[in-house]
Amino acid sequence: MYAQPSGGLEGTPRGEEAQALLRNCVHCGFCLPACPTYRITGNELDSPRGRIYLIKQVVEGAEPTATTRHHLDRCLTCRACETACPSGVEYGRLIDLGRALVEERAPRPPLERAMRRGLTSLLSRPALFGLLVRLGQAVRGWLPAALRTRIPARELSPVSAPSAPLAARRVVLLEGCVQPGLRPAINLAAARVLERIGIGVERVKGEQCCGALGHHLGHATPAHEQMRRNVAACSAALDAGAEAIVSTASACGLMVKDYGRLLAHDPEYAARARRVSEATRDLAELIPPADLERASTARGRGPRVAWQAPCTLQHGQRIGGRVEALLAAAGCVLTSTREARLCCGSAGTYSLLQPELSGELRRRKLAALLDDTPQVIATANIGCLEHLRGASPVPVHHWIEIVAEQLDPARLG
């Protein structure tokens, strides 16, 4: 799909990047059956190939229309098309580039723009978001069902954080934005499991939203500012001896792993961003299954768990299989599921901005996960967790909470 950049993109790094990315697509269509939105609507413009065609038109100077925006908005950025593509098309980079171009060349109506910016801003402020969650929890019983299902019940027996790290090995555990307000037990469980295998955790001062929320909505400038501040904070921790940057949210971990590429043209931050990305690990990459096997008290007697691999883990970070090994090592019984590659419909702000497609995907995903009568669903990203929990008849947890319980049921209640 050869593209000739135009409309001010010719001869620019962005134009060259777009041209190189578009060139790899040979229109074969192998990606279509992998695409959740195409599977629901059957419309070629809701498929990866159709969206790539729309982006090519914009790169070549065509004015984006309402149709262009509509079909790009409906993409989940799940990247299932990337792992299905035999030609190695980096669709995730293309859709981010295309969205940013459309935002610049055909700005949305002011109300819609304000709503999207307000949403990103609220979700990336942990203190404000946490306060609203607590208020919502206080009046949860009186709320209409549609709103009530979006607010998790308050965790009744919060566990305390481990004492100051005494371990020789130390990692930075990123707090995240919405997770501390919705599920504070996740990072506490991660800290306990890491402590158990001899790794202490520390927090960094000045942590910001990883930037994923704004980046995927085409708001590059504020997102890059958040990334730069995280790079500065994490670099200082690495200088002081931390061996890795760790996130319990696979979407945030994926974003931080991409800082090096995204800030490559920033002379002040490029080298530090690359170093931070290279040091970033998903939690599942840090824990050896053998350590869990040794520490588990319930070998083979643990709960029946249905595993839901977030797209950011399997298609983005491409580390499928690791969590399953850890759950099994901790004594859990993994149930069989269908549709392992299908997005659950959460996708950052997608469940709020595209409720119909998102709801249909959740219905399909839950049906596939519940096939083999699990006692609990495990996942690795707060967005997927809360989205599935809103309609699941069985509890939904982060996998590290289940592992922590297997290792130390008395302490974790």
- Choices 75-83, 165-173, 222-230, 378-386; region in contact with ligand SF4 by CB under 6 A: 75-83
Q: Does 91 bind ligand SF4 (CB under 6 A)?
A: yes
Q: Does 49 bind ligand SF4 (CB under 6 A)?
A: yes
Strand partners, 333: 304
Please identify which residue in 48, 181, 253, 303 interacts with ligand SF4, judged by CB under 6 A. Answer: 48
- Burial of 72 (C-beta count, 10 Å sphere; 0-12/13-18/19+): buried
Please identify which residue in 9, 55, 80, 189 interacts with ligand SF4, judged by CB under 6 A. Answer: 80
Our CB check for ligand SF4 shows the closer of 75 and 273 to be: 75
DSSP 11: T
Q: Helices 91-105 and 13-23, interaxial angle, to 10°?
A: 130
Query: Left, alpha or beta for 224 (phi > 0: left; psi -120 to 50: alpha)?
Result: alpha
Enumerate residues 6+ apart whose C-beta is below 8 A from 200. 162, 164, 165, 166, 167, 169, 170, 171, 194
DSSP string, 356-371: HHHHHHHHHHHHHHHT
Closest contact distance (angstroms) between CB of 3 and ligand SF4 is 13
Our CB check for ligand SF4 shows the closer of 80 and 369 to be: 80
Our CB check for ligand SF4 shows the closer of 91 and 399 to be: 91
Q: Does 76 bind ligand SF4 (CB under 6 A)?
A: yes
Closest contact distance (angstroms) between CB of 35 and ligand SF4 is 3
DSSP string, 271-338: HHHHHHHHHEEEHHHHS-HHHHHHH-SSTTTS-EEEE---HIIIIIS--TTHHHHHHHHTT-EEPP-S
- Choices 78-86, 176-184, 206-214, 290-298; region in contact with ligand SF4 by CB under 6 A: 78-86
Q: Does 335 bind ligand SF4 (CB under 6 A)?
A: no
User: Kind and range of the H or E element at 115?
Assistant: helix 110-123
Buried b (16+ CB within 10 A) or exposed e, 203-222: ebeebbbbbbbbbbbbbbeb
Closest contact distance (angstroms) between CB of 55 and ligand SF4 is 11
Please identify which residue in 22, 78, 171, 328 interacts with ligand SF4, judged by CB under 6 A. Answer: 78
Closest contact distance (angstroms) between CB of 300 and ligand SF4 is 36
Closest contact distance (angstroms) between CB of 338 and ligand SF4 is 18
Contact 289, 329 (CB under 8 A): yes
Report in angstroms the alpha-carbon separations of 212 from 59, 222, 349: 23, 11, 10
Closest contact distance (angstroms) between CB of 97 and ligand SF4 is 13
Q: Which of residues 3-42 bind ligand SF4 (CB under 6 A)?
A: 25-31, 34-37
* Binding track over 209-238 against ligand SF4, x by CB under 6 A: ------------------------------
Q: Does 53 bind ligand SF4 (CB under 6 A)?
A: no
List contacts with ligand SF4 (CB under 6 A).
25-31, 34-37, 48-49, 51, 75-81, 85, 87, 89, 91
